[in-house]
Structure 1
């Protein structure tokens, strides 16, 4: 059996009805895992579950709210009741609503309520998800994959709450790896760059997308399926020697010095 196979594993994907989450759920299922699609968008989660598994034996959709401790606990309990175990936890869910995006800018203008809402969901919620899943993962020698962001590595003139919350999850990743890897639980993170999810393709202005594409080392931005490949690799035995690491999956965006694309144009560099 290939080390990439996930036969017999049970995976929870939070934010599993969205772009990266949905692609991850789909690929985990293809690799042999049973899937819990956990999302606050219950109808979208159920629709995806029906699409992936019309009989309902391999995929379950469970509603939960990342900002509500009782909701997280209920979802974990329902997942274990349904499939009997947890082998993989993909902490992908995050608060990134339109209301938050309108006000999540710089420190001078940051509303306290928005800061608190983002940290309650992204940091507190992900910690609780991890805490509640850890006893089950210790039994199965399981895996946690946190989805952070390449913006966690860099200063940005906006998205203060979102970017700093994702930076905090990098430390959560390393801390959980340090405390639990000897107990059999690996913990890593994936840091996507701008990813062409359906929402980004529909609403992100083309001129802004072009600026970001010019700063990648590929000729395009990443797609959800490509991020899912990295997540599924880290969840598999093929990555059994990797823990406490943050893998940048950002088309090389954070790997080079600023203004590289403009300098390349000036000197006539290839590409």
Structure 2
């Protein structure tokens, strides 16, 4: 269902992004990769870009103008150990700027997939801060973090909560063109940032790991992203798929008094 399709994948040099690119190409897609680092695998095309640089994002949007891609996988992201301002910039502000800038370069019927996280659970309690981040630019992130008390301890959670909410918000934004947006929320995954993830989240992550039979792997996550980019997912709109070995189900069950 991906034969002949062109898919833009950010964060393509490692981890889930690299595995997604591999699986997309195996399914017949042409992959246009985006990363600040060179990918090891040969892709149809590659654009080097630093998402902390607003001008670099705008240049990338210009470079991809008219591509008419069939999908966009927003996988690039920073771990919880990154400075709060940089993390919010890359994981939320840059992702939104790039996505909105590329909508006109997507084909009708295209799919947008955002890589969120189990850390995005509880977004409903952060609506005020999420709304305050609407329209946020690179230049305004520092002041936003100060005003909204976004710190090293909560920046990763906030960025992923806001991303899940943004996915829900855009369930029908481009319905007249058949463009859909969904997200995938992994739990802890064996990637280069797993150590950073566990160090920052501390006791909560340790408890999660005790409950899980194992951490996820990029090969567990990439097929779900690939499915959401395929024609088989055309009736999914604004959906966030927990891909976490059952952790979201466990949290929901325990919080509601189920065993």
Q: Same fold, TM exceeding 0.5?
A: yes
The structure, 1 or 2, with the larger RCO (C-alpha pairs under 8 Å, 6+ apart) is 2
Please say if 1:38 is aligned against 2:39: no
1:254 aligns to what SS in structure 2?
Answer: helix
**Which of 235, 248, 257 in structure 2 is aligned with 1:241?**
235
Q: Residue 181 of structure 1 contacts residue 187 of structure 1 at CA under 8 Å; is this kept in 2?
A: no
2:116 maps to 1:148: yes
Task: Name the counterpart of 2:215.
Answer: 221
Mapped to 2, the partners of 1:203 and 1:167 lie a distance apart of 16
Query: 2:72 maps to which residue?
Result: 89
Q: Name the CA distance, whole Å, in 2 between partners of 1:120 and 1:204.
A: 21
Give TM-score, length-normalised by structure 2.
Answer: 0.77
2:21 corresponds, among 15, 22, 25, to 25
Q: What does 1:183-262 correspond to in 2, within 5 Å? A: 183-200=177-194, 211-216=207-212, 219-257=213-251
Please say if residues 181 and 243 of structure 1, whose CA atoms lie closer than 8 Å, have aligned partners that are also in contact: no
Which whole-Å CA distance do the structure 2 matches of 1:187 and 1:199 have between them?
A: 25
Residue 86 of structure 2 corresponds to which residue in structure 1?
A: 117
Corresponding position of 2:135:
none
Cα 1:252–1:85 shift into 2, 3 Å? same
Stretches of structure 1 that go unaligned for 5 or more consecutive residues are 50-57, 101-113, 261-268
> 2:84, 2:195 → 1: CA distance?
27
CA offset at residue 172 of structure 1? 1.4
Unaligned runs of 5+ in 2: 124-150
TM-score in terms of structure 1 length = 0.74
Aligned partners of 1:118 and 1:161 also within 8 Å: yes
Report the CA distance between 1:80 and its aligned residue: 4.9
Root mean square deviation of aligned Cα? 3.0
In 2: Cα distance, 1:236 partner to 1:9 partner:
9
* Count of residue pairs the alignment pairs up: 226
After superposition, what is the alpha-carbon deviation per residue over 1:143-198, rounded to whole angstroms, capped at 9, x for unaligned?
1000000011059x974101101110112112222321232111000000001125
The answer as to whether partners of 1:90 and 1:145 remain within 8 angstroms in 2 is yes
Matches within 5 A, 1:119-134: 119-134=88-103
Runs of 4+ in 1 over 4 A off after TM superposition: 201-205, 207-211, 257-260
Q: Measured at CA, do residues 258 and 191 of structure 1 come closer, stay the same or move farther in structure 2, by a change above 3 Å?
A: closer
**Cα drift, residue 211 of structure 1:** 4.3
